[in-house]
Amino acid sequence: MPEKLAYPVQLIQPDGRRVLDREHAALVADVGAEQLRALYQDMVVTRRIDTEATALQRQGQLGLWPPLLGQEAAQVGSARALHPDDYVFCSYREAAVAYCRGVRPGELTRLWRGAAHHCWDPDVVRMTNPNIVVGAQGLHATGYAYAAHLDGAEIATIAYFGDGATSQGDIAEALGFASSWSAPVVFFCQNNGWAISAPVRVQSATPIVRRAYGYGIPGAQVDGNDVLAVLAVTRQAIQRARTGGGPSFIEAMTYRMGPHTTADDPTRYRAAAETEEWRRRDPIDRLRRLLEREDLYDSDFERYVAAEAAAVAHQVRTATLELPDPEPMALFDHVYATPHPLITAERREYQEYLTGDPGEAPVQEGVRA
């Protein structure tokens, strides 16, 4: 018999109407008027951050920026499901998650301007910095989660990655280890349709979430443009992890409205009609329509959110333009947690190069000059 067709979890339709889903609606039953408006504000503000950062790159103020346009619900909904002591392992596109975790707007562009090796202090917000090694964060999240479990800490970790990363061996290894050792980790795949110019159909001939089943990991496919549905399924997975239930896998079905990064031109590989179809499913418009239906959206609220978004965007721009150039010798800081003879030698060589005094090049132990 053919397998029963499963639909992604959805609680808000594109036109703003609620969906009758008692199981998942119960997971967000506490989300009232103010919380809905707060989720809307988060998405509007993070889109404004993204717009500002993209403009800064186009103006030559950033070397690169990975836009998140269209993925605000997937990021905000999942981030707001986390507990303060949970730990986030991100890829390179999760600026909205970082904002929800408490990263200051002015810190979001430091790495992308080339002013530092990082954007923020991960220990302060319990979230790693942007990671461009595709899929590696799945291993890091699993290892951290398992270590926390051994230490008796009742926390969860969450690993964000895209559909393209599921073709990396790192994600396969992370799924296998997490399943075998019941690591309290949530694998959160933002399936945005494209891995640079490669469509998702070349990543998997079956829904990506089904890969988790082969490892014995429960999975859920969710409408990634529905912030309430994403909040519900992520809460469920986080609770499972925190209470000893082991790992979970979430596939958030969304769409990358813009380029892969600002170095990319998506018009060369995808049709405008496809983008327009997804534009009608815009996650911000969807929640606004729900608020309007429930008399929670008026001109005063609209002006307030717009003012907040503009203020945050101003912080991003001002902080970016005021970032000082790093000291050349800072290149060697934080490479290793403890002193390392190779770094010490390279630091000395570079200092001699900068001062114009070559001196005698150091010889590493066991290596002939």
Task: Determine the Cα angle at 166 with ends 162 and 169, to 5°.
Answer: 135
The secondary structure of 36-83 as a DSSP string is HHHHHHHHHHHHHHHHHHHHHHHTTS-S-----TT-HHHHHHHHTTS-
* Residue 268, helix vs strand vs coil: helix
Cβ–Cβ contacts within 10 Å for residue 271, how many? Answer: 9
Task: Determine the Cα angle at 11 with ends 71 and 183, to 5°.
Answer: 65
* Token code pair at residue 253: 């079905």
Cβ–Cβ contacts within 10 Å for residue 293, how many? Answer: 14
Whether 45 contacts 79, CB under 8 Å: no
Phi/psi for 70 (5° steps) reads 95, -10
The secondary structure of 227-259 as a DSSP string is HHHHHHHHHHHHHHHHTT---EEEEEE----S-
* Token code pair at residue 154: 């009742």
* Residue 275, helix vs strand vs coil: helix
Which residues are known catalytic residues?
256, 260, 269
Strands (E), the chain: 87-89, 157-162, 185-191, 194-195, 198-199, 219-223, 248-253
Distance CA 261, CA 55 (A): 12
